[in-house]
Amino acid sequence: MSQPVGLPVLAESDLVRQVARRLTDAIVQGRLPPGAKVAEAAVARELGISRAPVREAARLLESQGLLMASPRRGFFVRELSARDVDELYALRLCVERHAAVEAARRLTPETRAALRRQLDLMRDLARRDDPATIVEADYQFHRLICEAAGNARLLRLFDGLASELRIVIGLIGRLYDDPDEIARTHEPVLAAIEAGHPERIVAHVDHHIGVARREVVRLLESLTPQGPPPRNETSETP
Say what the pLDDT of residue 32 is.
87
Mean pLDDT of 63-91: 89
Strands (E), the chain: 37-38, 67-70, 74-77
Whether 237 shows a pLDDT value over 50: the answer reads no
Rounded Cα–Cα distance for residues 98 and 94 (Å): 7
Q: Which of 65, 16, 91, 37 is nearest to 168 (CA)?
A: 65
Amino acid identity at 178: D
Say what the pLDDT of residue 139 is.
87
Mean pLDDT of 177-199: 88
Rounded Cα–Cα distance for residues 174 and 218 (Å): 12
Buried b or exposed e, range 105-136, using 16+ CB within 10 angstroms = eeeeeebeebbeebbebbbebbeeebbbbbbb
Say what the pLDDT of residue 230 is.
44
Mean pLDDT of 213-226: 76
Residue 188 near residue 129 (C-beta atoms within 8 A)? no
User: In this predicted structure, which of 43-52, 67-76, 131-140 has the lowest mean pLDDT?
Assistant: 131-140
Confidence of residue 80 (pLDDT cuts 50, 70, 90): confident
Residue 57 near residue 123 (C-beta atoms within 8 A)? no
Say what the pLDDT of residue 211 is.
87
| Bridge partner residues of 37 (DSSP) | 76
Q: What is the mean pLDDT of the chain?
A: 84
Enter the pTM of the model: 0.75
